[in-house]
Amino acid sequence: MGGQEAGPSFESDIKPLFRDKDRERMEWAFDLSRYEDVKDNAEGILQRLEDGDMPCDGGWPEERIATFRRWSEGGMAP
């Protein structure tokens, strides 16, 4: 009663999902380590994750995609 489960946050849950290699490969478009960049591009990032073409060297497991989806659909907490 009264306990509210907090959704994922960028700093603790989303940012760590992206490896240095992922950040380097996407720096031409946006910075995966910057909250504002990921927030502004969340819909496209989620689509590419779901399609399995991001990251470039192989798709994420479903639990990682689900975490990103919960974050992007749940208000995108910093």
pLDDT digits (tens, 9 = 90+) for 9-68: 999 999 999 999 999 999 999 999 999 999 999 999 999 999 998 888 889 999 999 999
38 domain residue, yes or no: yes
What's the pTM value of the predicted model, to 2 decimals? 0.89
* Count of domains for the chain: 1
Task: Name the residue range of residue 24's domain.
Answer: 20-73
pLDDT of residue 5: 64
Task: Read off the pLDDT band of 2 (50, 70, 90).
Answer: very low
- Listed in sequence order, the residues at least 6 apart from 33 whose beta carbon sits closer than 8 Å to its beta carbon are 15, 18, 23
3-state secondary structure of 65: helix
Tokens 């946050």 belong to residue: 9
pLDDT of residue 29: 93
* Helix orientation angle between 62-73 and 42-51, rounded to the nearest 10 degrees: 160
